Structure 1
Amino acid sequence: MSTMTFLDLQFALRILLAIVFIGAGITHFRPAVQRTMAAMIPPRLRVAGPANPRNLVIFTGVCEIAGGLGLLVPATAALAGVALIVFLAAVFPANAYAAAHKKRFGRVAIPFWPRLIAQLVLMALIVLAIL
């Protein structure tokens, strides 16, 4: 009977996180999701041109997919993990904006404090996965 080592648990955690991020990233290419996520970008961060809200949603989807895939490759797992932590911090203003506008975003608008705690827990899990 074998027992799982810390490295086995780390690898399993990287697989789980990869599934979460790749799955979330794929949703960014669904038109209805794009509209909702684009609307979540706070007005002060909206710009015209190539960095418009819809393109930012597509870009963040690509980032999530790339980060998730990067977690699966030992040579890139640490870099991907750091990039995903930065990513989570970068997209938090959109989540906070949605939380402040519950009537507009409905169930997508997770309340601020639970969302912040969830983001921090996810960041901590990423750190554990790439140590």
Structure 2
Amino acid sequence: MTADGLQDLLRWLLAAVFAGMGILHFMPAVVRTMAAMIPPVLRRPGLPSPRALVYVTGLCEIAGGVGLLIPGVRLAAGFALIVFLVAVFPANAHAAAHPERFGRVAVPFWPRFAGQLALVGLVGVALV
């Protein structure tokens, strides 16, 4: 397989992962768990509700995943996904800090951090 073919495969895989994860943001049990992961700093009057944030992040993941497959918006989608991965990390870190509350969703901090960095790197490779 050529380098271009591998990059296309990577884009499709990332699109499937992001779109799939985004779709999960609309399943009631997942919404409850993810809403609970929203850190206290984002639970203030005037800010969107935790459930609303879950729905918005789901839409972002779906749009970003699809965007990776469209040449005209690929670069913008990729950068948006990178910003997204950074923006949602505090919720993941909050879950990691409370394994008693989140169970298996609470991936320990450093493996979660490494996973986020790997995803950022893969999205970057998909854009080159």
TM-score, normalisation: structure 1: 0.94
Match of 1:37 among 31, 34, 51: 34
Report 1:80-91 matches (<5 A): 80-91=77-88
Compare CA radii of gyration and give the structure with the larger one.
1
Alpha-carbon distance in structure 2 between the residues aligned to 1:65 and 1:48 = 28
Q: Distance in 2 between matches of 1:112 and 1:32?
A: 23
Counterpart contact for 1:47–1:53, Cα < 8 Å: no
**Deviations, residues 70-125 of structure 1 (Å, cap 9, x unaligned):** 00111111111110000000000000000000000000000000000000001000
The answer to whether 1:23 aligns with 2:20 is yes
Aligned to 1:103: 100
Q: Following the alignment from structure 2 to structure 1, what is the Cα–Cα distance between the partners of residues 60 and 44? A: 19
Q: 2:81 is aligned with what amino acid?
A: L
Flag structure 2 segments of 5+ consecutive residues without an equivalent.
none
Shift in Å, 1:49: 5.3
1:1-131 alignment, distance < 5 Å: 4-48=1-45, 51-131=48-128
Report the AA paired with residue 84 of structure 2. F
Q: Structure 1 CA distance, aligned partners of 2:18 and 2:9?
A: 14
| Structure 1 residue runs of 4 or more that deviate by more than 6 Å after TM superposition | none
For the aligned residues, what is the CA RMSD? 1.0
- The percentage of counterpart residues that share the same residue type is 64
Distance in 2 between residues matched to 1:61 and 1:128, nearest whole Å = 23
List alignment gaps of at least 5 residues for structure 1: none
